[in-house]
Structure 1
Amino acid sequence: MFIFSRRILGRVGRKKKVLRIGSRREMMTPAHFLCPISLDLMKDPVTLSTGISYDRENIEKWLGEGNRTCPVTNQEVTSYELIPNHAIRRMIQEWCVDNRSHGIERIPTPRIPVSSYEVSEMCGRLEAATGRGDHRECVELVGRMKGLAKESERDKKCIADSGSGRVLAACFRAFSERYEVEDLLKEVLSGLKWMFPLGEESKSMLGSEPSLRCMAWILKGQDSSAKRNVVLVLKKLLSLDHTYANVLAQVDEDVPRVLFEMVKSPNCPSARKAPLEVLYRILTSSSEAKGKLVKMGLPSLVLEILVDAEKGVAEKALAVIDGICDSQEGKGSICSHPLAMALLVKKIMRISEMGTELCVSIMWKLLCKGDEDENQVIEALELGAFQKLLVVLQVGCGENTKERATELLKLMNLYQDRVQCLHNSSGFKYLKKSY
């Protein structure tokens, strides 16, 4: 928060800011060209309801932080409309031109930000065009909306906050069974990916069977950019309501396979994050889809990804493994992988708090839930799991994780005398120990 005293404001009003040009020359900037907040030359001067002019970026940040008073006068702001001060902006531009010989560059004329009224007018036109089934006008309006959003984060937020998500969701639902207007469907999805969170009405339209079937159809196409947009929309939609994951798996049985391929051969390592999250939602909602994914080799793929994955991808990979371990077939596929236990022990307290909790959860499902496999318990002991679980309890963790770690320690304690060296694991010498 900025604090202004009368003494400081008086000094700013009487003096001019010095701009240093080169090593010898100095330039004096007129005080009324400076933003009272940053004391820098205003690039986009706007006037508040109190009559004081500020640079738009600074006053928007001030108001965005929850302040409801004018920084200079301390008066309560009666209107949050920022009126462009064209007069002072033109004066600043003329001054810049007059002093260009001193190295002063002319500030560009700022583009007027989009207003909520303009967005509402576009949404109204889009709704009308959707009702008429005019996909060409819809493409034009959605493209214009996306273009405005690219201008600035302020415009993007204004568009998202003005109910555009509901209108785009309705448009997608209305055209979801008309695959010949593929260009419109892809444009809408591209805009929807940054419109979340959505209201109940919008969520139900996107989660309807026709909409999900259409997204699955685009997902199976060759347009990699459109496929990424589908996955991002699905990721956010399923995080709002995971029941749609089961519907998605039912409307098109090829979806798990397509997502599996996206995880297996991504454009870049970070591109795995969203499809892994969607896969997690699907396999925890549909036992049939989980069985298919296990047979495809998802457990082995995710474990291999986990070896050197960055934090975000590693957390999603562990969540997928945790979901796989909820079935007997899934547990068997994880246990049979030679890297499984070594990776789980290695990743404890190496990724994040969530990563540690997931590692403990997976180990608990493998060792404590169901038939006890003493070879797995002994392997975990040899890898140093006992010491790491003790540290987890010492540094603190959630209640559920605490209970599972305690149960694992009690189980491992029964096998302590059968392990000669707690830190020896000849089969995993290439894995660096983190304890």
Structure 2
Amino acid sequence: MGRMKRVLLAFLWLSGLISLSCAARLSASRQKLEVQKHLKRLNKPAVKSIESPDGDIIDCVHMAHQPAFDHPFLKDHKIQMRPSYHPEGLFDENKVSEKPKERTNSITQLWHLNGKCPEGTIPIRRTKQEDVLRASSVKRYGRKKHRAIPKPRSADPDLVNESGHQHAIAYVEGDKYYGAKATINVWEPKIQQPNEFSLSQLWILGGSFGEDLNSIEAGWQVSPDLYGDNNTRLFTYWTSDAYQATGCYNLLCSGFIQINSEIAMGASISPVSAYRNSQYDISILVWKDPKEGHWWMQFGNDYVLGYWPSFLFSYLADSASMIEWGGEVVNSEPDGHHTSTQMGSGHFPEEGFGKSSYFRNIQVVDGSNNLKAPKGLGTFTEQSNCYDVQIGSNGDWGHYFYYGGPGKNANCP
């Protein structure tokens, strides 16, 4: 009888294993199907495809077929090919393309080495299956985690533990803002864990810091989780509900309408700055067109990239109430330990030019559509012994600041 019992138990155990394995196979095939559907939605048919030296595929997609137009409110949207106004007056293409008297070291995107997209198309970094599988879920792919925003008004140490995000920023608040500009030093910070990132950006913020926060963001980032490598990449982000259900990085959801055929969101920037060596920086301007109400983005002096339609937002449909510039990292180390993920160059502000990273010529756009120096610039960092920020101003750089740090060190365990 004992033997029969053992056989029966073994049979039941095996049956359980088989049904578990069937369930696992079913779940895996369901996930595969979901991923394939998502890739089909994101990767639009290309007129031409270019393989970048870093392994990216850049698809040249007809402008009218870009992901933005999956949005139900954009079905009949007529693409605006240029803003009505540029800060400081009527939009004038010649004025935008004017080269500054002194050129800083020039930056390009790696894929440019192997070709360019034809007129009437826009370059889109192709999303691969492994990109989506690295995300916590298909739904969360291309989105920031909730509570990722620096909140200077409550410099509370608990904020660090609650969100895992740390910042070193300069900011202005207390007025109505219609845009912001900065020239941002570009580096390739080292990331400790693949699920961490390091970025340097400007934030255009509207609303409270609650569930209704509106944000437009642009800058550069290193994010192994999102891109599968440690390259420094140009990025944008938007949300109208504090990163919950709306918005995404780059063109990974419908929202931003791109009109430029030369710059690809999410593509690698090259070259980057080196310690005690050549320094490279990028300029980013985001402003609200006073006529149409859309938020436009310009990269460098030459490229008006496109716009976020005003209907995407509640508070930002009118103006921004706060502007922030600076760095952000994710610290995923448990039990109060600190990551060694670097911010900026990985060096503290006091080391200065060529060693520390910087933002220079930081400006805001006022109600008269003029670029002007920010008034009452504040700074904020959760743990200044891990990452810090120091502001200054002079004739050449206007308002500027050095920021960043190594993360884990003798004073930041």
How would you bin the TM-score normalised by the shorter chain? under 0.3
User: What is the TM-score of this pair, normalised by structure 2?
Assistant: 0.25
**Structure with greater helix percent:** 1
Bigger relative contact order, structure 1 or 2 (CA pairs below 8 A, ≥6 apart)? 2
User: What is the TM-score of this pair, normalised by structure 1?
Assistant: 0.24
**Structure with greater strand percent:** 2
